[in-house]
Chains A and B, each alone.
Chain A
Amino acid sequence: MGSQFIASTALSGEDFATFPDYPAEIRAPIGTTFGVSAYQMNIGADPITTAGDKPDVLAAFNPAALKVSLPLLDDGALLIVNSDSFTARNLTKAGYEKDPRDTGELDSYQVISVDIGRLNLESVKPFGLSKSDGGLCKNFWTLGMLMWMFGRDLSPIEAWLKAKFAKNEVVRDANLTALRSGHAYGETAELTEAMPRFKVSKAELPAGEYRGITGAEALSLGLAAAAELADRPLIFCSYPITPASQLLHRLTRFGDLGVGTFQAEDEIAAICAAIGASYGGAIGVTSSSGPGIALKTEAMGLAVNAELPLVIVNSQRGGPSTGLPTKTEQSDLYQAVYGRNADTPIPVVAARSPGDCFFAAIEAVRIAVRHMTPVILLSDGYLSNAAEPWLIPDMNQFAPIEACPVPVPGDNRDAQGMAFDRDAETHGRPWITPGMPGLMHRLGGIEKDIHTGHISYDPRNHQRMTDMRAAKVESVARFIPDQAMELGPDEGELLVIGWGSTYGPIYQAVQEIQKSHANVGYTHLRHLFPFAPKLREIVGRFNQVLVPEMNMGQLSTLLRDRLGVVSTPLCKVTGQPFLISELVEKMRSMLPQVVIAANESVARGKVQ
């Protein structure tokens, strides 16, 4: 029974090729040590971006398998690690001195640690298999989990299993159960769905010191870096939600960087505690995903009115409501820019790649402190999980983060008014915090007099305060660099405008189209609200504008609203990023057909 089981379960290339949905390639084990056996399969997502023979995913059932197979992977690959096999004994056997999951050597990869062995055995328990036979089902358990992560249908594999083990019902049913259990695990644990990665070949990397980094890690480090630049502690207040929780997990480990974390009782408490932390002089940060951000909305208005710095990180996911927690979308742009009661403007910035989350976080904190305002930082599920090699930035390149100076208490002026002495350029007020003698003042959600800071119901004052809040957010644009081109000329036929995590595919697609059309330019927005200066001028130098977004055209609306620009949206909300081919196709369809135009001109000439 045992040997038959092993023989049947070992996957052969021939067998896998029979999966109709699966252009698969199974190879003989490579570089086997300690009896490590491996199978490799190519799920074949995107023909352009899938690296030839480098796997995107490695499922390592033990440390030895990890050690052997890791060199096969490119940075950014997805590593599924069977955590219950990572015992001290197995680690030693594999030649690891320390658990590689703790040493940072896996930082370049997206690592998912799951007790595959235990969970698989648990799932096949009812079939009464021996421990070793039951253990063999873990291939299918893991495959089931991967099918979830890649959003694939289980039925072809189920059909194959039924045919393959038609004569052995126990083995058939055990494997089917393992497969379904792995799939159910992925869903229940809300494992973020895997996506094709957009790689930059090593040859193109600029010189310097590198490390691997995920978006969640870069964002965490960026927040810690911003706090260091501001020379203040950072207090991160959050309520768990997929896919934003990783930030909380990472920041909790940054205690020695002056970071404190607080797991609040709900989303509202999280943002209110962050506001309280800012009120106390720390960099208050809260984080969530769309539904949680919705709950925080009222408190964002409070932070606007109280003129306190605050960063709200949104790791966007598919919606509405619970929607698709593990799928990526960019559909919270309206929410970020427009989604509050009353005239409550808040600056919005977005990260575009895993490593860029670091810089976006510093920018968000800088704006928040300089202008004494909440700032929304948009990330998404894909960015949080994706890993890439990252040129380690020199911390000396960043200017300190400074608020408007705190006044010296004096007898001549009411401290209440001094707390709202705003800087003429930034409209930021002094960050006066409890504990400072002689500067006691009251603040809150009620409208206050623009000068005295006392409660005011005066209609003219409300107009002035509303104007001030709008001017404050608009003033952000005066402190940020002009909008620049990512690729191509800054004038021409077609301008592609992107924002957020679509950076990778758009960049590669524009590179591709430029081989035939040099008149295509690409600009990518860090600042969504307000836009960086000169965006309007850039747009004006192109005949057409294409806006690819993973939503139903939200940036297109914003461009029309803010700049009066009519653009062509390219919308996709399948939870999958753009394929380079579909972007190229769209751009091509918008570009003048050079050949036909020439023929027409010739034809016209003939008539004349």
Chain B
Amino acid sequence: MAHVMFVHDEADLIRAAGQGDGAAFAELIRPHYRSAFRVAYGLLHNANEAEDAVQEAAFKAWRRLGNLRKGSSLRPWFLAIVANQCRSVSRSRWWSVLKVESPESEGISVDVAAAVDLRRALLRLGHDERLVVVLRYYLDMPFEEIATTLGISTKAARTRVERAVHRLRPIVQIQGAAV
């Protein structure tokens, strides 16, 4: 583990990780961990599941490190693996225990109620639409990086974001009017 302390260059870290050095791979993804968690949380809406998904995705990314093209950025590649892992989690989570919330919302602040509404609206989007909303508006990602993450053109990324926002528009406008 100590030898990682002397390695700073990303190319060296990739080489070391490719040779089975877990500490090197951990260093590689350290700057992207928070983004990865946010993507996973935005898709799954459960912090524990999000951490598990990022962990599982990290192992998958490590195994597939050879697929990362030379010179290409690590972040979109890793986030794409995280997003795919979340898709698998969502599929396997085909039964889940649901809790009934109180029908009265008088004790809930407008902000909290609005946040709950937006989260519900997000959950009603499909995986791909939810992903582009999270990348664009939660990670503040430019369209070019969204396109790289999804493996599509910038124009297609822009269209997907617009389509998803169109579906969210009523709920956000209502919230905007409420404050």
A, B: real partners: no
